[in-house]
A and B are shown apart, each in its own frame.
Chain A
Amino acid sequence: MNMVVCVKRVPDTAESEVHIDASGKDIDKSKLSFGINEADNYAVEEAIQIKERLGGTVNVISVGGKDSDEQIRMALAKGGDEAIRIEDPAMAGSDGFAIAKALAAAIKGMEFDIVFTGALADDDGSAVVGVALAELLGVNHAAYVKKVEILEDGKKIKVGRELEGGLMEFLEMELPAVLTIQTGINEPRYASFKGIKQAAKKEIAIKSLSDLGLDASEVGEAGSWAVLEKFTPPVVGEMAEILTGEPEETAAKLAAILKEKGLV
């Protein structure tokens, strides 16, 4: 099985205070720590497990600056073979569709059976890149995949997709295909010191847009379908009711509301 895994470096905002920066189009990331997008971590593990079972290669791809090498190296340390990082100033302002165009340009020349992405990015939450990538590559896809079974001939797979309410939908599809992976599909391993040492010897190929045969107008804001205008903090809407007063009063009010709505 020849596999490609797309990974994204994202800020960890779970336990941090998030502020909008001066541009109004991004958050201030100067004090945040960064890591691999959670769903991508499961995607990496899925590819490596398949490689361990059936053989083949795992090629890691990321769009981003030099900082992203950390996430790429970690994937290589866990068992990835080769890596590409797409870096070009013109990529700034790209939406998921434009990112997918750059990834597709890098992947289309490769012989691949499965391309893995995370189902959803922790930062923008768009869930666009994987499915757009499948369309651009002209191959099958399944999103929110929580089970992958390679069928005997290695030309088809059976995938389980996670639906609402814990339901699973099973489909069979022909390879090649793009699968966007949902968290919880496996137990991601942790890179060992040995693996990290070996990964240091593997090369990360840096590709610009011209290396990929893309024009600057195809990516960035010009090549995107969605353009980010500005970030604003959530505003208190009409539907929201803010309880005020001493804790005893607000607790009593809250209890009354919950009882009235039949929620307790």
Chain B
Amino acid sequence: MLFELDEEKTLFRNSVRDFAEQEIRPKVEEMWESGEFPYDIIEKMADMGLMGIPWPEEYGGSGGDELAFAIAVEEIARVDGSCAITLEAHTCLGSAPIYHFGTEEQKREWLVPLAQGKALGAFGLTEPEAGSDAGNTKTNARLEKGQWVINGTKCFITNAGTDISAGVTITVVTGTREDGKKEISNIYVPKGTPGYNIAPKYKKMGWHASDTRELHFDECRVPEGNLIGKRGEGFRQFLKCLDGGRIAIAALAVGTAQGCLEESIRYAKERVQFGQPIGKFQAIQFKLADMATNIELARTFTYKAAALRDAGKPHTKEASMAKLFASEMCMQAAVQAVQIFGGYGYMEEYAVSRFFRDAKILEIGEGTSEVQRLVISRELGL
């Protein structure tokens, strides 16, 4: 059992790395400062086929798989978190529900432009009173004369408010189940639908250039046919998509941590204190050795989770483990990277200070560390 990428994946990694180095790196500081959405970079990512990696070519995708996608997210995160999360949310949250559960017609109409990168996809799950507790979803839709009439609020939604955002798939309460619990369904709402209002961008701790907003639905009407899959299957659908999303967030964490490591090694070789580069001191060496070890473990396991998903095998536990371990090791790597940089690490113009701020959300988004531990515990039969 040799844990090596095949030639195809290796070439793809190198190609995405080149892209990130040449096209993204020169713009990272400017994106951080201005917080402006990187339309030019996303357009180039689309040209390269990165916006539809796992989807079949007949739907405008690249015909790749989850592993190829994870590698792309990792390589972009190694340079910039905002671009990486834009790609991740677009694919795993915005496009995946339509690909996995949409009708042929929905795929033709909505998935193709997303996979081609002509439009950006988004998914709305979190609400002011429903995050980890998705069962407490308040946004509701009632069927009236062949239309869903939607009311409610979604928060922390990625990719919904850009000029190229196509629309958002949201979880809504569509009634009450026989067991008395809420019936949750997923409905697609195109941008520009009357009653669908998009708030200004949040000011975030990190990921400055990614688009994150609150969405308001006020008597918003969409055709009955905008229901994704079957009524009442909203939970099952987003759990399946979240398994993929968690693997991708793990990859994003591996890439961010790799960025921390490379910056730190370079700095440790240059920075001289007490007459020698600080990389000659064991105190620094051991931090770097731990970072490198944790990154390697997280990467290997993330690829395993992706390979399981590609093979169509159960992977809920592995996806949660990968996300939990990778995001927590990434936060630690960022903490240590700033420590190695000392005072400079606290200055915004140093990449590690940005990685530090970007890293924290990885322990929160797409299931907090606590939720991951719950999922893993349940998988253990507890």
In B68-104, the 8 Å CB interface with A consists of: 68
Give A175 Cβ to nearest chain B Cβ, in Å: 31
In A189-227, the 8 Å CB interface with B consists of: 189-197, 199-200
Which chain A residues lie closer than 8 Å to B15 at the CB level? 74, 77, 190-192, 196
Number of interface residues of B (CB under 8 A): 21
Bound CA span A192–B47, Å: 9
> Taking each of A74, A77, A190, which has the highest tally of chain B beta carbons within 10 Å of its own beta carbon?
A190
Which chain B residues lie closer than 8 Å to A35 at the CB level? 14, 18
Which chain A residues lie closer than 8 Å to B49 at the CB level? 192-195
Tell me whether A193 and B63 are in contact (CB under 8 A): yes
Scan A148-180; emit 1 where CB is below 8 A from any B CB, else 0: 000000000000000000000000000000000
Bound CA span A191–B14, Å: 9
Which chain A residues lie closer than 8 Å to B232 at the CB level? none
- From A191, which residue of chain B is reached at the shortest CB distance? B15
Give A45 Cβ to nearest chain B Cβ, in Å: 13
Bound CA span A200–B8, Å: 7
Bound CA span A197–B7, Å: 10
**How extensive is the interface on chain A, given as a class?**
10 to 19
Which chain A residues lie closer than 8 Å to B14 at the CB level? 35, 70, 74
Give B64 Cβ to nearest chain A Cβ, in Å: 5
Task: Say if the beta carbon of A73 comes within 8 Å of chain B.
Answer: yes
Task: Say if the beta carbon of B198 comes within 8 Å of chain A.
Answer: no
Give B309 Cβ to nearest chain A Cβ, in Å: 17
Which chain A residues lie closer than 8 Å to B57 at the CB level? 194
Scan B235-276; emit 1 where CB is below 8 A from any A CB, else 0: 000000000000000000000000000000010000000000
- From B47, which residue of chain A is reached at the shortest CB distance? A189
Which chain A residues lie closer than 8 Å to B63 at the CB level? 193-194, 197
Give B179 Cβ to nearest chain A Cβ, in Å: 44
Scan A1-33; emit 1 where CB is below 8 A from any B CB, else 0: 000000000000001000000000000000000
- From A76, which residue of chain B is reached at the shortest CB distance? B11
Bound CA span A162–B137, Å: 64
- From B57, which residue of chain A is reached at the shortest CB distance? A194
Scan B315-355; emit 1 where CB is below 8 A from any A CB, else 0: 00000000000000000000000000000000000000000
Which chain B residues lie closer than 8 Å to A199 at the CB level? 11
Give A40 Cβ to nearest chain B Cβ, in Å: 14
Tell me whether B48 and A77 are in contact (CB under 8 A): no
Give B32 Cβ to nearest chain A Cβ, in Å: 22
Which chain B residues lie closer than 8 Å to A193 at the CB level? 12, 49, 53, 62-64, 68
Tell me whether B62 and A191 are in contact (CB under 8 A): no
Give B269 Cβ to nearest chain A Cβ, in Å: 8
Give A160 Cβ to nearest chain B Cβ, in Å: 24
Give A193 Cβ to nearest chain B Cβ, in Å: 4
In B9-43, the 8 Å CB interface with A consists of: 10-12, 14-16, 18-19
Which chain A residues lie closer than 8 Å to B7 at the CB level? 69-70, 73, 200
Q: 18 additional contacts, CB 8 Å, given A15-B266, A190-B15, A195-B49?
A: A70-B7, A70-B11, A73-B7, A74-B11, A189-B47, A190-B48, A192-B49, A192-B62, A193-B53, A193-B62, A193-B64, A194-B63, A196-B8, A196-B11, A196-B15, A197-B8, A199-B11, A200-B8
Could you tell me which A residues sit within 8 Å of B by CB distance? 15, 35, 69-70, 73-74, 77, 189-197, 199-200
Could you jot down 27 A-B contacts, CB within 8 Å?
Answer: A15-B266, A35-B14, A35-B18, A70-B14, A73-B7, A73-B11, A74-B14, A74-B15, A189-B48, A190-B16, A190-B19, A190-B48, A191-B11, A191-B15, A192-B15, A192-B62, A193-B53, A193-B63, A194-B57, A194-B62, A196-B8, A196-B11, A196-B12, A196-B15, A197-B8, A200-B7, A200-B8
Could you tell me which B residues sit within 8 Å of A by CB distance? 7-8, 10-12, 14-16, 18-19, 47-50, 53, 57, 62-64, 68, 266
